[in-house]
Amino acid sequence: MKKAVIVTLIIICIVASGVFCVRPVKAQYQGDITVNADGSVSPLTAPINQTGNIYTLTSGVDGSISISRNNAVFDGQGYTLLGELSLNDVSNVTVKNFITGYGGLQTEQVGIYLTETSNAVVANNTVTGMGSILAMNAEGLYAGIYVDDGGSNVITGNILLNDMDGMDFYNTENNLIVGNSITDMSNPWDGYGPGVFFDHASNNTIYHNNFMINPAVQQQASGSNSINIWDDGYPSGGNYWSDYQTRYPNATEIGSSGIGNTPYVIDANNTDRYPLMGPFTSAFYANYLLETTPPKISILSPVNQTYNETSVSLVFTVDKTVNWAGYSLDGKQNVTITGNTTLTDSMVTNVALANMTNGLHSITVYANDTFGNMGASQTVAFTIAKPEPFPTATVAVASGASAAVVVGAGLLVYFKKRKL
């Protein structure tokens, strides 16, 4: 679940901050481009700027881009590629911010094509208009994103618009398909393929996608010999299906979760158990995080240092509203700080820790939010070392005794001298 949270948090950041600027097509580069296994780019005149393992497109391209380099990032920067972007037998490659389409009636039309590729990230791209009557009659490939063999890829934050097939997966597994929008409403060949299709492709996870397909002419999702996971559990949820309430008119929302109470059945082996009632948005996920993520607690005081007083201030903040907070000192039972007063986001709470003994101590703060999620701070170790009072009376006595000894010794020397 953490992975899913961690993974979805990353998607929201991409969608929120990576809304790229669509640049006007001016002087497009004409021709195909290859990024070789050694990292070199052919031809040298290709509009790609390379800085280490990062490649950025500097103009639109009328042609294809073929990538054979591992461990690299390719950023389209919102430029248009009128051709196929292909990843060929590579790993640890990211392709993002491309806009792909076609300018003619090719027999094969794929926007982004992954073949024998693993651990790649395909993020925040827009793929439009993949598919034509020529491609269909020639039995060629036609999909916005096509994954053939390989696996463990992340397909996220992409817009697939008016493609014959939105995404196709063949003989590939362990891919994560999350946060994409698949809309096919105006392509004249919409009725031919589904929004997403799996063929001998199992153990893939698909959730938080928007399937906005015209159900009168095209399937939302389908597959063959494939068993996949279509949701992220409750309350994270599954996918939005534009025909959900048409297929299940009696479905209702579970509380205020945004999730329907009736599963969406794709086929006998594939079901979205927690379909979304409306399109997936960052606001939906923010609400999910609010309800499922434990509060984060930051201790500002004490810190890892030595204090020369027996009273130390415990100062901390929480990142969300909580209705209970307490602390454990030296691993002992929790002491309640507030059980009735609500602590809110960024509120600074100051509690006095008094009458502490000298030595090493540790403290951990706990808080429970209004949804029942318990959070814990990091444990802070600190030392109390208040100096003991200076023993003045004892010193005075000792000093007097010492003086008497000195005087006595002096008299002894004097009498010895007198006898001589």
Give yes or no: residues 32 and 71 share one domain: yes
20 belongs to a structural domain? yes
Give yes or no: residues 281 and 334 share one domain: no
Give yes or no: residues 183 and 224 share one domain: yes
Share above pLDDT 70 across residues of the chain, in percent, rounded to a whole number: 76
Among 92-101, 177-186, 218-227, 311-320, the least confident range: 177-186
Are residues 47 and 57 in contact, defined by beta-carbon separation less than 8 angstroms? yes
Structure tokens at 118: 């693993």
Query: Measured between alpha carbons, how far is 195 from 208 in angstroms, rounded to an integer?
Result: 14
- Which range marks the domain in which residue 377 is found? 297-384
304 belongs to a structural domain? yes
Structure tokens at 170: 């063949």
Query: Measured between alpha carbons, how far is 167 from 206 in angstroms, rounded to an integer?
Result: 12
Give yes or no: residues 187 and 327 share one domain: no
Query: Measured between alpha carbons, how far is 78 from 19 in angstroms, rounded to an integer?
Result: 9
Are residues 26 and 48 in contact, defined by beta-carbon separation less than 8 angstroms? no
Instruction: Indicate the number of domains in the chain.
Output: 2
415 belongs to a structural domain? no
Give yes or no: residues 221 and 200 share one domain: yes
259 belongs to a structural domain? yes
Write out the H or E segment, with its range, that includes residue 134.
Answer: helix 133-137
- Examine residue 235 and say whether the peptide bond preceding it is cis (omega within 30 degrees of 0): yes
227 belongs to a structural domain? yes
Are residues 224 and 199 in contact, defined by beta-carbon separation less than 8 angstroms? yes
Confidence of residue 372 (pLDDT cuts 50, 70, 90): confident
- pLDDT averaged over every residue in the chain: 82
Structure tokens at 27: 């002087």
Give yes or no: residues 93 and 151 share one domain: yes
Are residues 209 and 240 in contact, defined by beta-carbon separation less than 8 angstroms? yes
3-state secondary structure 22-45: CCCCCCCEECCEEECCCCCEECCC
Are residues 79 and 105 in contact, defined by beta-carbon separation less than 8 angstroms? no
Return the bridge partners of 73, or none.
54, 94
Among 20-34, 115-129, 174-188, 267-281, the least confident range: 20-34
393 belongs to a structural domain? no
Give yes or no: residues 253 and 284 share one domain: yes
Q: Using one digit for the tens of pLDDT, what is the confidence trace for 257-296? A: 899 999 999 999 999 999 999 999 877 766 766 777 888 9
Query: Measured between alpha carbons, how far is 134 from 68 in angstroms, rounded to an integer?
Result: 29
Q: Using one digit for the tens of pLDDT, what is the confidence trace for 25-50? A: 445 899 999 999 999 999 999 999 99
* CA 190 to mean position of chain CA atoms: 33
* Per-residue confidence (pLDDT) for residue 10, from 0 to 100: 47
Give the CATH number for residue 305: 2.60.40.10
Give yes or no: residues 72 and 27 share one domain: yes
pTM: 0.69
Query: Measured between alpha carbons, how far is 295 from 302 in angstroms, rounded to an integer?
Result: 20
68 belongs to a structural domain? yes
* Per-residue confidence (pLDDT) for residue 164, from 0 to 100: 78
